[in-house]
Structure formats: structure tokens, C-alpha cells
Amino acid sequence: MTHRKPKPEPRVVTRRNAMVCAGSGLIATAFGVVADFGGGPGTGPGPGTRTGTEPMGSADAGGAGPPPVEAPSVPAQPWMPEATLKPLSVNFTPGGLREVRGLVLHVQEGENSLHDRFSDPAVRSSAHFWVSQSGEIEQYVSAHDRAWAQGTGNPSWLSVETSGFASRPLTAHQVDSLARIYAWGMAQHGWPLAPAPTPLSRGLGIHSMGGRDWGGHACPGPLRSAQTGEILTAARGRFPR
């Protein structure tokens, strides 16, 4: 079922609460303001309630988006066996996935587990997975549920936050762990071993590919975006045939 909501008007926020998510942070630095397309499911928070990691434009924006694809979209496993499971109690939409087109790569612009931050109702942001720089995988949201990571892309994609900064590439451990997540998705969701260049495609995508509808972020930045091929190559070796 298509569930559409009117697109919220962007509002200007200050650098103080516009921190993080790679390019947006850079844009904020350059211009002092960024556009916020926030507004979660139901009533959105008031101005200034967003803080911390990648909140800008990340709150759920409803079901608007590309039409569903024919795919094995009923996930067999809601939780990845290799991940440390840390389920959230807020900041996600239960049963809110219409399909699973693939995995969207994000950069944290920070370090350490995001579980506590994503457990703060005021943040109104989340991701399915988080990968530390040493390769630890934490899963916060079931693959049956919608995380709030990339605006109108939320109903159609799983999401992964990567510890560190856009100015530094993913570590070898992170590449390996991202490949493990992706190989799991290939087996569970039928993801193709391919990059996803647009929100209408399927595969391994990046936050910035969604443009304005996904919050207008440059996340995860050129360095990490250029590593998607490396992740897919590693996933090929891990995909259980």
C-alpha cells in the first residue's frame, strides 16, 4: 500500500544542531545553515529538537518513493546472526518496509556505538546496522521494520552507519564487516551483487544518491562512496552459493 504524506517545507536550522552526516556538515560549515526536511511519522518535532548523529533529513518521511520491485521481499531473517543485537524501542516504524531494495551506506561523523543516541526519542533517527572501525556489527532495527535513516528511502532500504568520519576511508575491518552484512542481504533478500546508483535501482547504495528527498546529504562522502566496489568484491567471496 502506498502511503503518501505531503512533503514538509524545509526549515533552516543552525550549525549547532545540524552537526554530522558528512557533506551536510561541510555545507553547514560553508554556509552556516542547511535545509532540514525532517518530520517523522505523525507529528514532527519542533525546531531545534534534533541533535547529534546524522539527524538531518533522516527522520521517517512516510511511504512516498519509488514503486516496489518484484523481489524476494519477505525477509527470512529479521536479525543478522553475526551481529550484536541491540533492538531499539523508539525511532523506527514496526513493519514499515514495503520491500528491501538493498543496503544504504552512511557515515557516522563520530565514533562509538549509536545505540544510546538512537534510543533517544528526540533524535528521531536510526539505522538498521552500525559498524565500528574494528569491524563490530550492531543491529538496532529488525529487517522487518523501517529504520529512519534516509527520508523517503526508508520504506525501501536497509541502512548501515559506519563509525568514523567522511574525511577518512573505511577501515579494512569495516569493509569486511560491510561485506558480511551485504552477503547476508544477498542470501536473505536477494540483493544483486551490484552498486545501486539511484533510489529506483537495487543493490549497494549511498545516502547521497537520494538527493533532496533523502535529506540532501553528501553522506557518506567521496572516500567511503568510492569503496562500494571494494565492499561488493569482498561480499562476492562471502556469498553462500
Q: Where do contacts with Zn ion occur on this chain (CB under 5 A)?
A: 21, 106, 207, 219
Judged by beta carbon, residue 98 or residue 207, the one nearer Zn ion is 207
Give the nearer residue to Zn ion in terms of CB position, either 72 or 197.
197
Between 2 and 120, CB nearer to Zn ion: 120
Q: How far is the CB of 201 from Zn ion (least distance, A)?
A: 18
Q: Which is nearer to Zn ion, 54 or 145 (CB)?
A: 54
Shortest Å distance, C-beta 239 to Zn ion: 25
Report the residue number whose CB is nearest to Zn ion. 219
3-state helix, strand, coil in the chain (%, to 5): 25, 15, 55
Q: Please provide the size of the chain in residues.
A: 241
Burial of 73 by CB count in 10 Å (0-12 exposed, 13-18 middle, 19+ buried)?
A: middle
Q: Nearer Cβ to Zn ion, position 72 or 211?
A: 211
Shortest approach of Zn ion to residue 70 CB, angstroms?
28
Cell of 154: 526508508
Query: Apex CA 99: angle with CA 96 and CA 100, to 5°?
Result: 105
Smallest gap, in angstroms, from Cβ of residue 137 to Zn ion? 17
Q: Given the complex with Zn ion, which of 72 and 88 has the nearer CB atom? A: 88
Tell me the closest approach of the beta carbon of residue 97 to Zn ion, in angstroms.
18
Burial call 207-230: b when 16+ CB within 10 Å, e when fewer: bbbbeebbbbbbbbbebbbebbeb
H-helix segments, 123-199: 172-189
Q: How far is the CB of 76 from Zn ion (least distance, A)?
A: 27
Which residue has cell 577518512?
168
Contact 149, 104 (CB under 8 A): yes
